[in-house]
Amino acid sequence: MIESPSGFWEPVVWIIAAIVALLIAYFIQRRGEKTYKKGVQSETFLMGNPKLSEGETHVRAHNIYWGFFEGLKKYYVPTINAHTGIINDHLVWLTAGIAIVIIILFIAGGI
Amino acid sequence: MLSKIVRTAANQLILFILIFGLYVIAHGHLTPGGGFQGGAVIVSGVVMLLVAFSSKELKKSLRERTLSVMESSGALIFIGLAFAGIGIAFFYNFLVGTPIFGRIPVTGPNPGDIWTGGVIPLMNFAVGLKVVAGLSAVVLAMALFSSGEEIEE
Amino acid sequence: MMEHVPLNFPFLAAALLVGISFYILIFKRNLIKLIMGIGMLASGVNLFLVALGYRAGGNAPIYTDVPEGPMVLPVPQALTLTSIVINVAVLALMLTMVILIYRHTGNIDSKKSRILKG
Amino acid sequence: MDKLLTYSPILIIAIPLAVAFLIPLISRAGGKARNALVIASLAFVEFLVIILARDIYLNGIHIYTLGAIAPDLALPGGVMVPIRIILEVDAMSIFMGIIWATVSLTAAIYSLSHMARETGQTRFYTLSLLMVAGCFGMIFTGDLFNLFVFLEITSISGAALIAFRTRFADAVEGGFKYIVISAVAGLMFLFGVGLLYAQYNSLNIGFLASVMQYSMLDKIALTLFLMSLTIKTGMVPLHMWYPDSYSVAPANITAMLVITSHACMYAVFRVCFSLYGITLGVAALGWIVVIIGLLTMFVGVTMAVFQTDVMRFMSYHAISQMGYMWLGVGVGLAVLGNPEALATYGRDAIGGGIFHILNHAMYKPLLFLTAGALYHRTATRDLNKMGGLGHNMKFTLILYIIGTLSIAGIPPLNGFASKFLIYESVYQFNPVLAVVAMLVSIITLASFTKAFQSAFTGPQLPEYKDVKEVPKPMLIGMGILAAGIIFTSIFPGLVLEHIVYPATDALINQAAYVNGIMGGIP
């Protein structure tokens, strides 16, 4: 039981609720279509084209979320270009970071 | 391998370097110096041998396994001395007051008393052993590395 | 509390060393020069620490032939020695890695020998 | 037993150190003896940590002075400054200690099989135990200079371990980047230590905190501490070396390295809360930490989605998750000078951040170890070349799913519990922060689905037809972490009450930390 400023979290209650929900879902599913034929309807259908080999049907990692990267090109291209992997550039960032934080702390003052 | 003059001179000089290094280690608790500094002095002698002879020659006499054992035992002696005082506290100087290195140093102008310092001189020797072995291994490995060989397992 | 140590030449030299070494770290792409830069940075910091150990009127804490008077607490010297020892290890490790990088890529330029990025 | 308890802070550091140098001698007797020694010593350390933890939760801060009975013994000339090496273990230190002991034991068990094919295992175990000792030293020390020394021990052994498989060019490059960054960061840290020593003539955190004036030099020192330690935790924009180094190391080492970066984060907390603490009357530092936390979360996760190298992908996620901790603790830091806000949501924010450290220290090593299991069987880290491995590696699949659901914050797993606390308390501080944090959580789930899909699901690929499940020690290592995750998931309140909130209070209550040292010295 976790109490936060505006709520609480109790995993045991959540698990019981999830089990109840799953049971309900299972009962609904059992009342479903009885004419489903196992094996035949789960075959891949590629618009009548011949079946591909197993290696070819697997979607490889670089194809996943292609659209996401394409849409966010404006963000991704400069960000990836900033990750040069050159050790000198990492040290530039460190030096710049130290300088900026010192300036901020001086402006903000303190006691 | 350099000329015969260099090799002979190196053979003679290594003795003095060794003595000086041991002196720095042994007087570590009295004068500036100590295990690391003295060890580094001795390793400079090893580097001289490395320059005078080739790394292949030196590999025959300085075996990696021997160096590894020396290094480990140096560190173990150091930690063992630290553990030896654990009846009172870790790193406790339990030798103070005993005949071995146990005298209390006098302040004011004096030539220095070697039998002071408790466990510190012993720790200096342990560190010296470790530094000599470790740095020699480093230097030797680098020399072998840059000549395209590997140090043997 | 002791009064603030006045700004004098050792501190300026330490600052100069640190400044030069940062210049090297940022602009020199040769990995050996980069390591030299780190060595210089270490020297700068060590010089700074040793300079802190000086107190006007204090004696060096060496028990042989010490003049009469107060001795300084040798903490900064101990710090410097420890830092030197650590730096020996770091520099040796870095040089070994540069040798290996050169073996693998045939280059010691930080841009040309880079494989990992992105 | 009482004696053991008194000496346990130093024994926890000294035993791995002694065993590290014993290994080259013992390994003459064969690999079995060496492995048994490693596991036995780490298990003993774990036992010591647990009894020490129990005592700290009951009786408060433990002080151990090296070389003398009490911290104030035999000070020359009436100096009332603690000059000895003092270990100060409070609830926050032991919290990190429990994590580090468990993860290092797990990684050692895992490495019995994972490293079995490598040469030079003696050196591997020597370096690992040095790293264990170094990181324990960082966590337990009450002294800034010792923090630097142990930081460097951890860095040096860590760099050597990253580059352990020297036959790969990328491993060497990763190790080189790690050691350069560590060396520069370490020297900057030392410079900051020197600045403080110049003013206050001491290195002890408790003493420095009691005389801290927050002068101009103190600000510079604070900046140097902050940046030099945060670069080692992979904070954006100083994170670029992090995936390069962490992705090329053997998986068990990466699992340990994640915790060493947590130890650096712990050092930042120590500096901010225990060293500067009350003198930070302004919210500026808190806001800096919050903003870098947000940046860290967002850049880390968006870069992670893009990766196709499984270890690199998880390294970016490690960066991203660190952002949550910075966010939670940063909010607490920003309201540190405001007791009312601190009581309503600040304490919960810090508690959420620290709870997230615990959770992250379980699921991230688990995920790295599953990635190592994939590498162990396929000899590649490239997700593009993997597929259908779930058919043959069922246990790895289950463990991976547990880790994934936990990191993505899916209820009822523990990742959700800590993220819940962070969201709710941060929302009270500024709603925008909570929204960004949730967005990051969604992208995390999406990216882990990508890795799951490309590595485990899909038809069985012809090249991995006869892949077998990984050996038992690897499964045991991963299983310990998974068991920890499940326990924390079911009893979050228990963990929070008995481990996390004592640590939070130890951070907030600066006076207790200072009194731990200065109480004995008038």
Inter-chain residue contact B109 with C65, CB threshold 8 Å: yes
Radius of gyration, alpha carbons of chain B: 18
Per-residue pLDDT of B86-119, as tens digits, reads 878 888 888 887 888 878 777 666 777 788 888 8
Integer Cα distance of D516 and D522 in angstroms = 12
Helix (H) or strand (E) holding D122: helix D121-140
> What's the domain range around D343?
281-490
**Of the partner residues B31, B40, B108, the one whose CB lies closest to the CB of residue C62:** B31
Per-residue pLDDT of A8-19, as tens digits, reads 888 889 999 999
Q: Where are the domains of chain B?
A: 4-147
Inter-chain residue contact C114 with A85, CB threshold 8 Å: yes
Which amino acid belongs to residue D188?
A: M
Q: Positive or negative CA dihedral for C22, D175, D100, D495?
A: positive
* D215 within domain boundaries: no
Radius of gyration, alpha carbons of chain D: 22
* C2 within domain boundaries: no
CB D193 within 8 A of CB D267: no
Smallest CA-to-CA distance from A104 within D91, D289, D414, C108 is with D289
Lowest mean pLDDT of A38-42, B76-80, C16-20, C99-103, name the range. Answer: A38-42
- Residue B153 — very low, low, confident or very high, per pLDDT cuts 50/70/90? very low
Q: Which residue of B has its CA nearest to C96?
A: B142
For D388, the token pair is 């259908």
* C3 within domain boundaries: no
ipTM of the complex: 0.90
Residue A72's CB is within 10 A of a number of other CB atoms, namely 15
- Residue B130 — very low, low, confident or very high, per pLDDT cuts 50/70/90? very high
Interface of D with B (CB under 8 A): 7, 10, 14, 17-18, 21-25, 64-69, 85, 119-120
- Secondary structure of residue C65 in the 3-state scheme: coil
Integer Cα distance of D170 and D178 in angstroms = 12
Smallest CA–CA separation between C18 and chain A, in Å? 12
Integer Cα distance of B80 and C62 in angstroms = 27
Query: Which residues in chain C touch residue B107, judged by CB atoms under 8 angstroms apart?
Result: 63, 66
Q: What's the per-residue H, E or C state across D471-514? A: CHHHHHHHHHHHHHHHHHHHCHHHHHHHHHHHHHHHHHCHHHHH
**CATH at residue C70:** 1.10.287.3510
Per-residue pLDDT of D493-520, as tens digits, reads 889 899 999 999 998 888 888 888 776 5
How high is the pLDDT of residue A54?
63
- Residue D454 — very low, low, confident or very high, per pLDDT cuts 50/70/90? confident
Higher pLDDT, D361 or B115: D361
Residue B141 has pLDDT above 80, yes or no: yes
Total domains in chain D come to 1
For C73, the token pair is 């607490």
Smallest CA-to-CA distance from D214 within D194, D200, D228, D202 is with D200
Instruction: For an interface test with D, give the residue of A3, A4, A69, A89 to mutate (most D CBs within 10 A).
Output: A4
* D62 within domain boundaries: no
Q: Interface partners of D (3+ CB pairs, < 8 Å)?
A: A, B, C
> What's the domain range around C18?
8-114
Integer Cα distance of D176 and B107 in angstroms = 48
Using the Cβ of B112 and the Cβ atoms of chain C, whether some distance falls under 8 Å is answered with yes
* D421 within domain boundaries: yes
Angle at D211 between CA D207 and CA D214, to 5 degrees: 125
For B71, the token pair is 């290094």
Using the Cβ of A91 and the Cβ atoms of chain C, whether some distance falls under 8 Å is answered with yes
How high is the pLDDT of residue B152?
53
Residue D424 has pLDDT above 80, yes or no: yes
Inter-chain residue contact C63 with B32, CB threshold 8 Å: no
Total domains in chain C come to 1
Smallest CA–CA separation between D462 and chain A, in Å? 7
Across the B:C interface, residue pairs with CB atoms under 8 Å apart total 41
CB B108 within 8 A of CB C66: yes
Using the Cβ of D425 and the Cβ atoms of chain A, whether some distance falls under 8 Å is answered with yes
Q: Which residue of B has its CA nearest to D15?
A: B79
Helix orientation angle between B119-146 and C75-105, rounded to the nearest 10 degrees: 20
Query: Which residues in chain D touch residue B153, judged by CB atoms under 8 angstroms apart?
Result: 119-120
Smallest CA–CA separation between B4 and chain C, in Å? 30
For B137, the token pair is 């291994």
Residue B21 has pLDDT above 70, yes or no: yes
